[in-house]
Amino acid sequence: MSITAVRAAAAAAAAGAPASLSRFRGALVAAVVGDCVGGEFEGAEEVPMESVLKHLNSLDDETKGDGILEYSDDTAMARCVVQSLLTRGGFDEQDMARRFAKEYSESPGRGYGSGVIQVLKKLSSPQLSDVYQPARNQYNGRGSFGNGGAMRAAPFALAFPDQADVKRFACSGAMLTHSCSLGYNGAVLQALAVHLSLQGALELPQQFISKLITEMEEVEGDEATRNDARILKEAEKPFCERLHRVRDLMDRSKVSIEEVISELGNGIAALHSVPTAIFCVLHCLQPRECLPENYSGLERTIAYSLALGGDTDTIACMAGAIAGAHYGITAIPQSWIKCCEGTEDADVNAERLHMLYHQSLQSSASVAGEQSHEFRAENKSNGTEKKNKAE
Ligand code: R7I
Ligand code: MG
């Protein structure tokens, strides 16, 4: 076995079985870490890797206060998603919308996008009956294509074991603020990537990207996507087209940061950031020359995401969730966890989501069991009937 294969096997063993608690904790905590450490470079055009490593090394300083790096709107909204899913035991759009509005009114300085603020203010109105309406009114009725729906999509993958539920609820949850298909389909893609990673699908990176492309072919096959893509002058299936670019870049032995930015983007649009985050995870599955040898795959992913510049906190947050679900909690340095605000809370919530997920799995297994029992009983009685008739 090559050194890379040995390392990959060791990382997989540490993360545990598919849907293990370590993977849940890794996903939620690494998303917060990505958001917090990424804040340092948000909006920067060029970020030398040297500066990234200096920033990350500074977290090892034990005199640094706990939670010194504050989280932004990414984590604030993801927490609302988690609390809503846990309290309601599933998706409840009224409850989730109310939580978004309350969170914003209590802590408005978390760096929200300028457009989404209007939506959040309207969502706080007690007279509002259709919670999807404010988002629909954005940008001349087309809705926002920002990455705000995608940045908070990971918890949907941790709450629902069934892939169809993950897609459906990640979409509905994003539509509370982002009603353009280029916004909510980004949330579906992000949630799908976390869902697959949680199952251990990153063990086979080529199959992982192919599966995402196949799923998004279906997701982007509707009229709304075609219309939005035409108006915004994008490819017919914009996310699929970007995922093909991810696959092309993956197959190359050397790729520069400049090429990644020009092919995939690093901006606040979901289309220019979700496929980028997925690429960061795939690219960093192996050790890279520009990154320290002693870094775990998760540390490489976060560092690489920051070096792309642009919307660094959100790209690192999304890449962190996907990578965390693959490597598990032990791949995140304790010093990073300690320095980031909200990691303790994320860890506790990950455990609760893990319970909710496995409860749903068990109840669907018992329903399936009952159905197959009924089916067998029915067949048996049909069989008897036929036999009787034949007699
Ligand atoms: O998408 P959103 O919640 O936040 C996006 C990013 C995240 O990284 C956050 O952390 C925050 O830093 O910003 O916020 P929106 O306000 O919905 O969208 C973000 C920005 O995208 C807007 O301020 C617009 O500049 C732009 N945008 C659009 N511009 C023109 N036409 C989004 N949709 C449109 C559009 O349809
Ligand atoms: Mg951001």
182-212 confidence digits (pLDDT tens): 999 999 999 999 999 999 999 999 999 999 9
379 occurs within a structural domain:
no
- Distance between CA atoms of residues 27 and 18, nearest Å: 13
148 Cα–ligand 1 center, Å: 7
385 occurs within a structural domain:
no
Q: Would you say the C-alpha torsion 135, 166, 107, 319 has a positive or negative sign?
A: negative
Predicted pLDDT at 390: 37
Number of domains in the chain: 1
Q: By residue range, what is the domain housing residue 327?
A: 3-363
Quick one: how far is CA 22 from the chain centroid?
16
388 occurs within a structural domain:
no
- Ligand 1: residues within 6 Å at CB? 72-74, 111, 113-116, 139, 142, 144-148, 151, 180, 268, 311, 314
390 occurs within a structural domain:
no
What digits encode the pLDDT tens for the residues 230-275? 999 999 999 999 999 999 999 898 999 999 999 999 999 999 999 9
Nearest ligand 1 atom to alpha carbon 143? 36
Candidate from 116, 234, 276 with most ligand 1 atoms within 8 A of CB, to mutate: 116
373 occurs within a structural domain:
no
Place of tokens 């599933």: 90
- Distance between CA atoms of residues 363 and 359, nearest Å: 6
The CATH number of whichever domain residue 359 belongs to comes to 1.10.4080.10
Predicted pLDDT at 388: 41
215 occurs within a structural domain:
yes
Predicted pLDDT at 1: 53
- Distance between CA atoms of residues 335 and 203, nearest Å: 27
- Predicted TM-score (pTM) of this structure: 0.93
332 Cα–ligand 1 center, Å: 29
300 occurs within a structural domain:
yes
314 Cα–ligand 2 center, Å: 4
Ligand located closest to 177 CA = 1
104 occurs within a structural domain:
yes
127: pLDDT strictly greater than 60: yes
Tell me the residue type at 151.
Answer: M
Are 120 and 128 in contact by the 8 Å Cβ rule? The answer is no
* 31: nearest Cα among 338, 280, 324, 308: 324
Ligand located closest to 150 CA = 1
Binding residues: 72-74, 311, 313-314
CA distances from 339 to 73, 77, 97 (A): 18, 20, 30
Tokens of 327: 């490597």
149 Cα–ligand 1 center, Å: 10
